[in-house]
Structure 1
Amino acid sequence: MSGFTPINPRPMLQALVDKDVIIRLKWGQEYHGKLISVDSYMNIQMRGADEWIDGKSTGNLGEVLIRCNNVLWISALDAAGKEVEMAG
């Protein structure tokens, strides 16, 4: 019988600090920008954040704070602005 082993996401999030990321919220909005910090509750601070709704940019919001319980997923971006495949 195979078992499920939970993985702590904090080391991955800390590795993304000062890198460009995409953060998707539960309601479909995405925020593209530089991850500045993550606290112990996994609240997220971004700088240079652009908001995307339905695949279209709605503008630059600058510095934002995203509460942890709103986040659906987080992905790193490479230098070309493409999502990075993250393996666990």
Structure 2
Amino acid sequence: MENHNSPTGAPSNSDPKDPASFLSSIIGVPVTVKLNSGVVYKGELQSVDGYMNIALEKCSEYVDGKMRRKYGDAFVRGNNEGGKGKEGNGSSGERNCK
């Protein structure tokens, strides 16, 4: 999971060992979800369940770094995800939290 925090790379307030708590703490925040296939979805996190299924609003799909299409809402099945994270300024605060 990518987490774009402050430029110092400071961790979020939630325990990094508990993905459910982390994801619950960022509901309503812009996130990036990368699938195992390499396709990337960017949107606002609306919900996550116990199976790590993700619902996004204002979602865009990116393939090979280029926007392919926009969706109002998108649902990503948990077993397809390669990683998730808050969007930020893309600075060195990026962290891998898989």
Shorter-chain TM-score range:
0.7 to 0.9
- For residues 87 and 73 of structure 1, do their structure 2 counterparts lie closer, same or farther at Cα, with a shift above 3 Å needed? closer
Q: What is the TM-score when the length of structure 2 is the normalising length?
A: 0.74
Question: Unaligned regions of 5+ residues in structure 2, if any?
Answer: 1-15
Q: What is the TM-score when the length of structure 1 is the normalising length?
A: 0.81
- The answer as to 2:46 corresponding to 1:64 is no
Residue aligned with 1:42, SS: coil
Higher relative contact order (CA 8 A, sep 6+): 2
- For residues 57 and 42 of structure 1, do their structure 2 counterparts lie closer, same or farther at Cα, with a shift above 3 Å needed? same
Q: How does 1:1-88 map to 2 (within 5 A)?
A: 7-78=17-88, 82-83=89-90, 85-86=94-95
Query: What amino acid does structure 1 have at the position aligned with 2:94?
Result: E
Higher strand share: 1
Per-residue Cα deviation, 1:25-79 (whole angstroms, up to 9, x for no partner): 000000000000001211100001100000000120220110000000012113x
Q: CA deviation at 1:9?
A: 0.9
Question: In 1, distance between residues paired with 2:31 and 2:42?
Answer: 6
Aligned length: 80
Question: In 2, distance between residues paired with 1:75 and 1:41?
Answer: 17
